[in-house]
């Protein structure tokens, strides 16, 4: 083939059509893959935000419970210091143990509800 023949060589219409169809198909597949990746990223962000919010609430509750329990223990210690006799010590101790058992049961229940809600929020399908 000389230079003039090579310059006049044309790609047949059928080959160009097949190439264009293949290119269009590849472009559509890429756009679909990109769209799916963006949706997945958005879902992960939403779930991450929900998880962070729930973790913040759980942490806040736990800190609040710890604060209340420390105050109760300090009050208990102060009452013991002011006890006049062994009878007072036993009464203060019994009251403290009973109130702390009740408080701990309530705190465990409340924290359990918050953790359950958090798990449900994270597992909930995006609507």
Burial 3-25 (b: 16+ CB within 10 A, else e): eeeeeeeeeeeeeeeeeeeeeee
Check whether 1 has a pLDDT greater than 60. no
pLDDT confidence of 96, banded at 50, 70, 90?
very high
pTM value surpassing 0.75? no
Q: What share of the chain is helix, strand, coil (3-state, %, to 5)?
A: 90, 0, 10
Query: What share of the chain in percent tops pLDDT 90?
Result: 28
Segment 70-94 shows an average pLDDT of 91
What pLDDT score was predicted for residue 13?
A: 83
Segment 67-75 shows an average pLDDT of 92
What pLDDT score was predicted for residue 9?
A: 67
For residue range 19-67, list pLDDT tens digits in order.
Answer: 788 878 888 887 888 887 777 777 777 777 777 888 888 888 889 999 9
Check whether 16 has a pLDDT greater than 90. no
């Amino acid at each position: 083939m000389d230079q003039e023949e090579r310059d006049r060589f044309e790609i047949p219409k059928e080959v160009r059509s097949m190439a264009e169809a293949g290119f269009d198909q590849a472009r559509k597949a890429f756009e679909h893959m990109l769209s799916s990746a963006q949706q997945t990223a958005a879902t992960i962000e939403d779930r991450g935000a929900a998880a962070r919010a729930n973790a913040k609430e759980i942490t806040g509750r736990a800190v609040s419970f710890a604060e209340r329990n420390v105050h109760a223990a300090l009050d208990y210690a102060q009452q013991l210091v002011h006890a006049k006799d062994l009878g007072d010590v036993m009464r203060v101790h019994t009251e403290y143990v009973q109130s702390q058992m009740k408080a701990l049961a309530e705190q465990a229940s409340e924290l359990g509800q918050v953790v359950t809600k958090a798990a449900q929020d994270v597992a909930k399908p995006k609507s």
